[in-house]
Homo-oligomer: A and B are copies of this chain.
């Protein structure tokens, strides 16, 4: 029997004991994080499917795991030889997990899940969907059937000084409390890990690449309570928190704490606070659900953060230039045996050699040739493709600097490229530039700008199937809300001054190659006229595009001028961080 089948058998024993006919295991942790610690990877443990998103549903005699388009191939491979049925979500006629449940659950059956892994909102949707069922959300059955479950991480927390964040913890708490007062609220509850890190000017090491720490934060009118594993805090941080009126209690103390506090009105985001936690708010309290105000605040970077972001991007640009120069040279030498994985390790080494870079911001995506067309490709050491001095490679990577988070994609020519590659690269570049150079009225949502990045491709019957831009945190999550640039119009968030967003169109002819170009862009005021306030973007990313892939004949005069100015800016900004040899290489690369 496969390992996964044995694990499922153990889970089914626990389900039988609890009287559960269905057990649902989603991907999230108790904080609705995008990336989670090992403790929370129950879906992968019980199904074998390791993708970053998906849902497992286990019954007495079935186990189905849902995976989205990114993982259709992977989910089949990883469930082979087990009793788990892979479900390719998004294909026509394929039900979603909820649709599947609606079809299968019979009158009086019991549907169970770990209440920590469902948002209050998701949990309510499930109840509405299954009026015929008994819903059991208080039992962590997966945990009971998982003997060697990893412990919750216990990495140390560190402080990010006001020279980086530009606003003290005390000032942030004051700002949040002003909002609470406007809403007539006595409390505000945060479970979102990057919101807590932002509020307290603290960072952690609990989740790979995202410098957060597992905790909850309850803010009262003049006190606050941080619920966190005690050993993560050193004396200095603890005393600093105390000075700012933040008490520290155990990670799981929030339900008990709520019972001891005076009755009041509490603000929380039902899309972020899990079912078990919202259920522990005493029934006498008033709950008002809204987007966490900290999500709104942290999206608009203050002047210090903006300046730091610029610094981070100079350092990151120098690392990228060093890397590209090395790559283009090393690939010519067969003795070096370069592959997708090893060059990722080299890039990591270069980035981390900078003092203020304390981590990568996500696992490097390096896709050579046909692998470049797999949008979320992740090269494994054993199976990584070898690089040859021809064709092109997509490298999507980023670093965590004390001065900000970076995220950059360059498509790099390793040798001779075809006209088709140059044609497509140039169209992608035109869309990328058109978005970066947009001017737009205050109040404009990202959705409305999206066509600027797609139109050059659409003109030739081509499209890319991913969003064009996501928000980026300040030394925090590389994917940060609330703004978004994409085809989806259901993100009703205007782009505001201070927001940092990615600009990353691409094109991915299957089995051929991939092209993606990504910079981070900062929203700034452009001008105020009698027609209103207009905004624009400032390019944060400083790294040349691939001259070997640009078909200059397809560029307008304006685009050529813009590229010249950008290259000049790169040379001036990065030179102090480069060796003489690197400077010369950069001059040649950007002088063509």
Contact = CB atoms under 8 A, between A and B. Distances in A.
B556 A461 contact: no
Interface in A530-555: 530-532, 534
Given A455-B438, A458-B440, A458-B441, A489 B448 contact: yes
B531 A463 contact: yes
Contacts of A556: 556
Nearest to A465: B531
A74 to B, nearest CB: 22
A451 interface: yes
A253 interface: no
Number of copies: 2
A470 interface: no
A441 to B, nearest CB: 6
A296 interface: no
Bin the interface of chain A by size. Answer: 20 to 34
Nearest to A508: B531
A257 interface: no
Interface in A428-443: 438-441
A422 interface: no
Interface in A462-479: 462-463
A450 interface: yes
A459 B447 contact: no
Contacts of A531: 461-463
Nearest to A507: B531
A194 to B, nearest CB: 28
A449 interface: yes
B463 A441 contact: yes
A527 interface: yes
Given A462-B531, A463-B531, A448 B449 contact: no
A587 interface: no
A136 interface: no
A327 to B, nearest CB: 30
A449 B452 CA distance: 9
A526 interface: yes
Contacts of A383: none
Contacts of A458: 438-441, 534
Contacts of A534: 458, 461
A529 interface: yes
Contacts of A532: 463
A452 B438 CA distance: 11
Contacts of A451: 438, 440, 448-449, 451-452
Contacts of A489: 445, 447-448, 489
Interface string A485-503: 0010100000000000000
A42 B300 CA distance: 51
A520 to B, nearest CB: 21
A481 B445 CA distance: 24
Given A450-B448, A451-B448, A451-B451, A529 B440 contact: no
Of listed A441, A451, A534, residue having the most chain B CB within 10 A: A451
A439 B427 CA distance: 14
Nearest to A441: B463
Contacts of A449: 451
A13 B278 CA distance: 57
A445 B556 CA distance: 28
A526 B447 contact: no
A574 to B, nearest CB: 29
A447 B444 CA distance: 12
Contact of A459 (B439, B459, B462): B439
Contacts of A529: 461-462
A455 B558 CA distance: 15
A435 B467 CA distance: 22
A112 to B, nearest CB: 37
Nearest to A459: B439
A206 to B, nearest CB: 38
Nearest to A509: B530
A1 B145 CA distance: 88
Chain A to chain B: the 9 pairs with minimum beta-carbon distance, closest first:
A461-B529, A463-B531, A461-B527, A439-B459, A439-B458, A461-B534, A489-B489, A462-B531, A448-B451
Given A439-B455, A510-B530, 15 more contacts: A438-B451, A438-B455, A439-B459, A440-B451, A441-B458, A445-B489, A448-B448, A448-B450, A448-B489, A449-B451, A458-B534, A461-B529, A462-B529, A463-B531, A463-B532
20 contacts: A438-B451, A440-B451, A440-B455, A440-B458, A445-B489, A447-B448, A447-B489, A448-B448, A448-B450, A448-B451, A448-B489, A449-B451, A451-B451, A458-B534, A461-B526, A461-B528, A461-B529, A461-B534, A463-B532, A510-B530
Interface of A: 438-441, 445, 447-452, 455, 458-459, 461-463, 487, 489, 510, 526-532, 534, 556
